[in-house]
Amino acid sequence: MNLASSNSAQEDLSNTAQRLKKRLMRGIGQAIADYNMIEQNDVVMVCCSGGKDSFALLRLLLDMRERAPVDFRIIAMNLDQRQPGFPAEVLPAYFESIGVEYRIVSEDTYSIVKDKIPEGKTTCSLCSRLRRAIIYRTALELGATKIALGHHREDLMETLFLNMFFGGKLKAMPPKLLSDDGQHMVIRPLAYCAEKDIAKFARAMDFPIIPCNLCGSQESAQRKQIKTLLSEWEQAFPGRVESIATALQNVVPSHLADGKLFDFKTLSRTTILHEGDIVFDSPDLINPPASAAEASPIRWMKTDESLDANPWSRPNNDEHVQ
């Protein structure tokens, strides 16, 4: 490769990273605005596992703070689960290199999980419960008012199908969640962001990714089955994943079967239904969207006017990726 083509390749990589950053920042900004995730003087504890999603979330939230309409503090938190071979020095070095406050919590959950879960069985359930307890405890110690997790759009949809297929519930992973004891507010600012964009951004930023050796190799895990299913659907039917994401924000209780959400027992001819009898009708028969993307909940990406209306999504004067 000659000098000219080398410079061109570097320029293309930089432009691609800038476009990805802009798209992800807009997604985070819209999610924060839609669900009022971050407020004035919040202390946001960003949970960093060492994976691509949490690295991207931390980096983007730090940049978002510079342009945000409110002041808030960010503290990065990592739980060292004492996994064999875990490079404990990587995350502290990274946190210090970008100048963010951080807390490293070391707890041997690895031994507990390996002791309690038979070999070959999925460890995710017990591991997540142990992590959650430690995260909540640390949030109290730090005075964190919000706990930010790196779950993205596909995580929300995978949870929906996991609950449907294996739990018998129509339940997903909400962008904003109050803990059972009412002490913690969990937020997922990447809820509108596509995993493929996050993966590309992580590669462009060259984050020091740390693989999870505890559960990352469990190819038979139910979540990975769902991930494969969604990926196959998207390849065979482009736009289907976006349509599912849109459905999470367009729930019609009168067309389901949960008597706790809709009073079917007293339903009569005089009952006024705002949804109407359109269960098999297309709402876009007259004016269909130009593409599946225009039916997406991420409407803020479509026009400059909608971006200007959301103070969390206004770009600053420097979109260069650091």
Please give the chain's pLDDT, 322 residues, in tens: 343 433 443 445 578 888 899 999 999 999 999 999 999 999 999 999 999 999 999 999 999 999 999 999 999 999 998 888 889 899 999 999 999 999 999 998 888 888 777 776 767 778 888 999 999 999 999 999 999 999 999 999 999 999 999 999 999 999 999 999 999 999 999 999 999 999 999 999 999 999 866 554 454 478 888 999 999 999 999 999 999 999 999 999 999 999 999 999 999 988 888 776 655 555 554 344 444 444 444 433 333 444 556 777 665 544 443 3
At 49 the pLDDT is 92
Asked if 34 and 135 touch (Cβ cutoff 8 Å), the reply is no
Angle 191-315-298 from CA coordinates, rounded to 5°: 30
Residue 49 · residue 78 · CB < 8 Å: yes
- Torsion 153-88-185-56 (CA) sign: negative
Domain for residue 290, yes or no? no
**Does 69 fall in a domain?**
yes
Residue with tokens 């803020």: 300
In a domain, 239, yes or no: yes
Does 287 reside within a domain?
A: no
Q: What is the pLDDT of residue 276?
A: 63
Total domains in the chain come to: 1
Q: Tell me the residue ranges of DSSP E strands in 111-269.
A: 146-148, 176-178, 185-187
Give residue 8's domain range: 3-252+298-313
pTM of the model: 0.81
Q: What is the pLDDT of residue 314?
A: 62
Separation CA 25–CA 190 (nearest Å): 9
Give a yes or no: residue 205 inside a domain: yes
Q: Is residue 273 part of a domain?
A: no
Distances 322 to 21, 60, 195, 205 between C-alpha atoms, Å: 11, 11, 21, 8
> Looking up tokens 């996991």, which residue turns up?
162
- CATH number, domain at 217? 3.40.50.620
Residue 46 resides in a domain: yes
Q: Where are the alpha helices (DSSP H) in 173-250?
A: 195-205, 222-236, 240-247
Entry field: residues in the chain: 322
Whole-angstrom distance, CA of residue 147 vs CA of residue 184: 7
Reduce the DSSP state of residue 232 to 3 states and report it.
Answer: helix
Q: For residue 267, is it within any domain?
A: no
Q: Which residue has the tokens 């959950």?
A: 109
- 316: nearest Cα among 79, 69, 20: 69
Backbone angles phi, psi at 103, to 5 degrees: -135, 125
Whose tokens are 């596909």? That residue is 154
**The predicted structure's pLDDT at residue 117:** 78
